[in-house]
Each structure stands twice: as structure tokens, then as C-alpha cells.
């Protein structure tokens, strides 16, 4: 019997759209699979390119998961055999449009008792956002069966410069001709078709149990210890900042302070903390670190 797939995503630059197109290619080529693609739009769109002030202004609501109104969602079917959710993290949380989607009653209805594969495209920090998505999916009674995390593989500091350049100018080229191109590489975007093939094979049998394991063998997720370490700490700190900023009368001022705090934390404090960790803690925690990496690479929720 024909299988119905919904591939729903948000994108500003088109990066996630390109990922979704490549990823769903093998499914669309299968005669017994119908893929319905749905790009979501907030009623009030976020600017692209961003100004620095508006970019940082998205932090508190991203972290708190405050929903915004979306343009009407229309689904061709009332139930799907698989939902593919393409998203991007904003400030270590699902982007505001995606967290709005996950809280939308009609989407929650569609999610109920349905297998879901998540695919993200980001700079390099997606773990916290994925944990939040796992929770939202569980609340909607959906079953997360697979996850693919596409990242910018360049050095953490180079990609920090290039993502800000891209987001604040709208240009996805090499800053000053020196820095690498921002975002997920064209090869990795095109390569997501390989993961699509694996998902297609599992969809044919409707046997989801080993999907994530098979995706991991293909390199769908690559967790680097230093990034995981920084992200876990930063996730907790962002939560505190968002609580302080939300509802404050000094919001604009606090956001400027947050911006400089973030740059100092990432460029100065993080390397020092990582050094202390590497000398005094990491060598004695290898089992725990391995377990953490396995957990974040998986699809279960603690």
C-alpha cells in the first residue's frame, strides 16, 4: 500500500529547504511513497539578513519556546506513515517558528502516534535543541525514530565568525576571501540523500527499531566532546539570561550586555574552562562521557 510522508520544515536562507530536497529525493523516487512537503511561515516574518539587535532579541523567546502565530497549516492527509521535521536551532533551542509548530494544536494532532525523523542544519550546537524537540514530540505522543544533525564542520571560532557574517549580511560567501563558506557544506547537503535512502528502506518495512543505529553508521550524527561540554553549560546559562531578560523593562540594554557576555564567554571563558576540564576532569570521566555521547546521538528521552 502507498505510504504517505509529510516533510515539514522552516528555513530563512533556503539551507533547510535544500537539505529537505536532497534528503527526501530517494523517498520521492520510490513509486509507493508520496511525499508532501510543507514549508512553514510565521505570520510576522523574521528578518533576513538580521540586524544585530533583532538577532539577539530572538534569544529569550527562542530559549523559552514562546510560540508565534504561523500562517495556516493545511495537511493533505489526516495521518502520515512518517513525518520528517527539518529544523534549525536558535540560541541552543528549536527556532521560534519550529517550536511554534510543535505547539500548534493541528500539528500535534498529526504528530500523534506517528514516527518522526528529525533533521537539523546548524552551525554546530544542536544537542540542547534536540532534547527540547524530544520532549515536545513525547508530549504530542509522537515516536522519534531517527535523527540527523548536519553541521558546519569548520573550526568552532571560524564558524562563529562566518555564521554572524552570513546572518547579518545575508551573504553566504567567504568573508574577506579568507574565512570558509558559512553553513553546512554543499557536499553534506547533497550527501543527506544517503540518509534518505536508509529512511526509505525502513519505511518500506515499517520497522523503525534499528533506524538510528543504521543512520549513525552512516555518520548522521557526530558529537564532539568540547562542543557538547560548552553547549550543556551554555544551555543552562541561556535559561537564566532569558528569565532575567523576559519581562524586564531594560530589555534592550540587557540584550546588549548578553551579546558581549556571549562573545566573551565563547571566545575567552570557554577555552579556559575546557583547559581546566581537560587537565583535571575529562581524563577521569571517560565512561560517563561515552554514555553522554551515546545518549545524545540516540533518540530516547531521559
Ligand X SMILES: Cc1cc2nc3c(=O)[nH]c(=O)nc-3n(C[C@H](O)[C@H](O)[C@H](O)COP(=O)(O)O)c2cc1C
Q: Name the one range near ligand X by CB under 6 A: 124-132, 190-198, 213-221, 246-254.
A: 124-132
Q: Closer to ligand X at the Cβ: 55 or 80?
A: 55
Is residue 124 a contact residue for ligand X (CB under 6 A)?
Answer: yes
Q: Which of 5, 6, 7, 11 binds ligand X (CB under 6 A)?
A: 11
Considering only residues 24 to 63 of the shown chain, the ones binding ligand X according to CB under 6 A are 55, 58
Is residue 92 a contact residue for ligand X (CB under 6 A)?
Answer: yes
Q: SS3 letters for the chain?
A: CCEEEEEEECCCCCHHHHHHHHHHHHHHCCCCEEEEEEECCECCCCCCCCCHHHHHHCHHHHHHCCCCCECCCCCCCCCCCEEEEEECEECCEECHHHHHHHCCHHHHHHHCCCEEEEEEEECCCCHHHHHHHHHHHHHCCCEEEEEEEEECCCCHHHHHHHHHHHHHHCCCCCHHHCCCCCCCCHHHHHHHHHHHHHHHHHHHHCCCCCHHHHHHHCCCCCCCHHHHHHHHHHHHHHHHHHHHHCCCCCHHHHHHHHHHHHHHHHHHHHHHHHHHHHHHCHHHCHHHHHHHHHHHHCCCCC
Q: Closer to ligand X at the Cβ: 6 or 129?
A: 129
Considering only residues 218 to 257 of the shown chain, the ones binding ligand X according to CB under 6 A are none
Is residue 99 a contact residue for ligand X (CB under 6 A)?
Answer: no
Binding mask 137-166 for ligand X (x = CB under 6 A): --------------------------x---
Q: Closer to ligand X at the Cβ: 33 or 270?
A: 270
Is residue 119 a contact residue for ligand X (CB under 6 A)?
Answer: no
Q: Which of 4, 6, 7, 12 binds ligand X (CB under 6 A)?
A: 12
State in angstroms the smallest separation of the CB of 66 from ligand X: 14
Is residue 167 a contact residue for ligand X (CB under 6 A)?
Answer: yes
Q: Closer to ligand X at the Cβ: 3 or 37?
A: 37
Is residue 64 a contact residue for ligand X (CB under 6 A)?
Answer: no
Interface ranges with ligand X (CB under 6 A): 11-13, 15-16, 55, 58, 88-92, 121-126, 163, 167
Amino acid at each position: 500500500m502507498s505510504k504517505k510522508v509529510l516533510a515539514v520544515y522552516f528555513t530563512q536562507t533556503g539551507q533547510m529547504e535544500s537539505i529537505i530536497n536532497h534528503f527526501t529525493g530517494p523517498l520521492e523516487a520510490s513509486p509507493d511513497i508520496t511525499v508532501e512537503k510543507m514549508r512553514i511561515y510565521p505570520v510576522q516574518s523574521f528578518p533576513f539578513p538580521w540586524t544585530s539587535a533583532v538577532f539577539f532579541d530572538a534569544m529569550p523567546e527562542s530559549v523559552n519556546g514562546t510560540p508565534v502565530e504561523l500562517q495556516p497549516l493545511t495537511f493533505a492527509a489526516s495521518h502520515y506513515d512518517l513525518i520528517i521535521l527539518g529544523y534549525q536551532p536558535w540560541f541552543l533551542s528549536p527556532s521560534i517558528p519550529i517550536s511554534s509548530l510543535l505547539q500548534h494544536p493541528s500539528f500535534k494532532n498529526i504528530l500523534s502516534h506517528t514516527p518522526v525523523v528529525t533533521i537539523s542544519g546548524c552551525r554546530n550546537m544542536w544537542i540542547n535543541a534536540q532534547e527540547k524537540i524530544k520532549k515536545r514530540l513525547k508530549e504530542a505522543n509522537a515516536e522519534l525514530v531517527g535523527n540527523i544533525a548536519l553541521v558546519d564542520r569548520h573550526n568552532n571560532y571560524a564558524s562563529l565568525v562566518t555564521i554572524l557574517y552570513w546572518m547579518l549580511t545575508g551573504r553566504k560567501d567567504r568573508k574577506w576571501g579568507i574565512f570558509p563558506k558559512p553553513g553546512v557544506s554543499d557536499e553534506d547537503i547533497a550527501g543527506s540523500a544517503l540518509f534518505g535512502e536508509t529512511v526509505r528502506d525502513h519505511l518500506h518495512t515499517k520497522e523503525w527499531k534499528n533506524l538510528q543505529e543504521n543512520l549513525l553508521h552512516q555518520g548522521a550524527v557526530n558529537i564532539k566532546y568540547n562542543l557538547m561540554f560548552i553547549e550543556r553549560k551554555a544551555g543552562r546559562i541561556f535559561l537564566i539570561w532569558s528569565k532575567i531578560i523576559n519581562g524586564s523593562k531594560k530589555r534592550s540594554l540587557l540584550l546588549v550586555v548578553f551579546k558581549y557576555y556571549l562573545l566573551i564567554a565563547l571566545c575567552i571563558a570557554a577555552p579556559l574552562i575546557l583547559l581546566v576540564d581537560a587537565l583535571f576532569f575529562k581524563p577521569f570521566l571517560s565512561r560517563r562521557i561515552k554514555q553522554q555521547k551515546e545518549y545524545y546521538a540516540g533518540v530516547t528521552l531521559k
